[in-house]
C-alpha cells in the first residue's frame, strides 16, 4: 500500500484507528477454544466487526510465536484473510525486528514477501545497516521505534547526548534525525507512545511529514486528544493503536459486538477531532 492510499483510507473512514491483535488464549472467550484455530477465529470475528471503523490491524508477533507452529499458522491465516477480504486495510506486523544487514533482509522477506504485510516495526539500536534492508521494499513501510510507551523508555531513549561530541539531545531525537539520512527514508514511520503527549510537538519539528504509530492510548493511560493536539499533521499523520480495550471488551459470546462498540467510540472521537482540525 502506498502512503497516499493510507491517507485516502483515513479520509474515507474518518478514522486513524489501528486495532492491535494481541491474542492471548487465556483472555479470549472460552467457547472459541473448542474450534480448530481459536486465535484465527477470534481475529476473523474482530476484523469482520470492526473493518469499517479501523484503517489498520496490528498483530503482535510475540502472541503468535508463543504458540509455536500453530501460532505462526494463525498469524498467516489472519494476514491472508485481511489481504483477501479487506484489501484497503493497512497491515502492521508488530515484530520489533532488527539485525545485521543480511539478517534484516531475511526478516524483511519474512514479513513483506512471505506474509505480505504492508509494514513491520523495527528496533533502531543496531543502526543504519540493520534498517535499510527493510526500506528497500517498494510500497512497504518500516515503522521504527523512537519513543515507546513503556516505563523503560526512560532508561535509554531519553538519555541526553554530549553537546560537544554527540549532538546534545535525547537519544530518541538523535534516532529520528539520523534515520532521515538513510536510503529510502521516505519509507519510514515511527513508533511514539501516547503516554508522552507533550513530546509530540518536539518530534514533529524533526519529522513533520512522517506517519507516527501511537500505542498507549486507553489501557496504558494516554489521551487521544492530547496526542492529536501535538502530533497531527496536514495528512493526519497518525495511526493510533488500541489493543486490549477493543479486543477484550467482553469475553462472552458478544465479544465481537462489544469490540465494535469500543472501536466505534474511538472512531467517533477521531471523526470529531478530524472535523474540528480540518473544518476550514
Q: DSSP code of 207? A: -
* Residues between 212 and 231 with contacts to a copy of itself, criterion CB under 8 A: 215
Whole-number CA gyration radius for the chain:
18
Residue 32-71 contact track with a copy of itself, rule CB under 8 A, x = bound: ----------------------------x-xx-xxxxx-x
Q: Which is nearer to a copy of itself, 16 or 63 (by Cβ)?
A: 63
**53/135 with CB nearer a copy of itself:** 135
Question: What is the spatial distance between Cα 225 and Cα 101, in angstroms, rounded to a whole number?
Answer: 39
Instruction: Return the SS3 of 66.
Output: coil
Site string for a copy of itself, 169-208 (x = CB under 8 A): --x--xx--x------------------------------
Separation of alpha carbons 140 and 135, rounded Å: 8
Among the listed residues 14, 44, 70, 96, the single catalytic one is 96
**The C-alpha cell of 240 is what?**
493510533
Tell me if 228 sits within 8 A of 277, measured CB to CB: yes
Count, residues in the chain: 280
Cβ within 8 Å of residue 84, ≥6 positions away: none
Nearer to a copy of itself, 244 or 265 (CB): 244
- Is 96 in the active site? yes
Out of 3, 50, 119, 148, the only residue in the binding site for a copy of itself (CB under 8 A) is 148
- Tell me how far, at minimum, the Cβ of 72 lies from a copy of itself, in Å: 5
Q: How far is residue 74 from each of residues 39, 107, 119, 120, 264, measured CA to CA in Å? A: 6, 19, 18, 18, 26
Total residues in contact with a copy of itself, by rule CB under 8 A = 65
Q: Does 91 bind a copy of itself (CB under 8 A)?
A: no
Q: Which residues are catalytic?
A: 96
Amino acid at each position: 500500500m502506498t502512503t497516499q492510499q493510507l491517507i485516502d483510507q483515513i479520509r474515507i473512514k474518518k478514522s486513524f484507528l489501528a486495532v492491535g491483535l494481541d491474542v492471548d488464549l487465556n483472555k479470549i472467550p472460552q467457547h472459541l477454544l473448542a474450534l480448530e484455530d481459536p486465535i484465527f477465529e477470534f481475529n476473523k470475528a474482530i476484523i469482520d466487526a470492526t473493518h469499517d471503523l479501523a484503517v489498520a490491524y496490528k498483530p503482535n508477533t510475540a502472541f503468535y510465536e508463543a504458540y509455536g507452529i500453530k501460532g505462526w499458522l494463525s498469524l498467516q491465516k489472519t494476514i491472508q484473510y485481511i489481504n483477501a477480504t479487506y484489501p484497503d486495510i493497512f497491515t502492521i506486523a508488530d515484530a520489533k525486528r532488527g539485525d545485521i544487514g543480511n539478517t534484516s533482509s531475511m526478516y524483511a522477506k519474512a514479513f513483506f514477501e512471505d506474509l505480505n504485510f504492508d509494514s513491520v516495526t523495527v528496533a533502531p539500536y543496531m543502526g543504519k545497516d540493520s534498517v535499510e534492508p527493510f526500506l528497500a521494499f517498494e510500497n512497504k513501510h518500516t515503522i521504527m521505534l523512537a519513543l515507546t510507551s513503556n516505563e523503560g523508555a526512560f532508561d535509554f531513549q531519553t538519555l541526553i547526548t554530549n553537546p560537544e561530541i554527540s549532538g546534545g539531545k535525547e537519544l530518541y531525537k538523535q534516532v529520528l534525525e539520523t534515520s532521515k539520512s538513510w536510503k529510502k527514508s521516505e519509507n519510514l514511520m515511527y513508533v511514539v507512545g501516547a503516554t508522552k503527549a507533550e513530546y509530540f510537538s518536539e518530534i514533529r519539528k524533526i519529522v513533520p511529514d512522517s506517519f507516527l504509530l501511537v500505542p498507549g492510548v486507553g489501557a496504558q493511560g494516554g489521551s487521544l486528544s492530547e496526542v492529536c493536539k501535538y502530533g497531527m499533521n496536514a495528512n493526519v499523520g497518525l495511526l493510533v493503536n488500541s489493543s486490549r480495550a477493543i479486543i477484550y471488551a467482553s469475553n462472552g459470546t458478544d465479544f465481537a459486538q462489544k469490540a465494535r462498540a469500543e472501536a466505534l467510540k474511538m472512531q467517533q472521537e477521531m471523526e470529531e477531532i478530524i472535523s474540528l482540525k480540518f473544518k476550514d
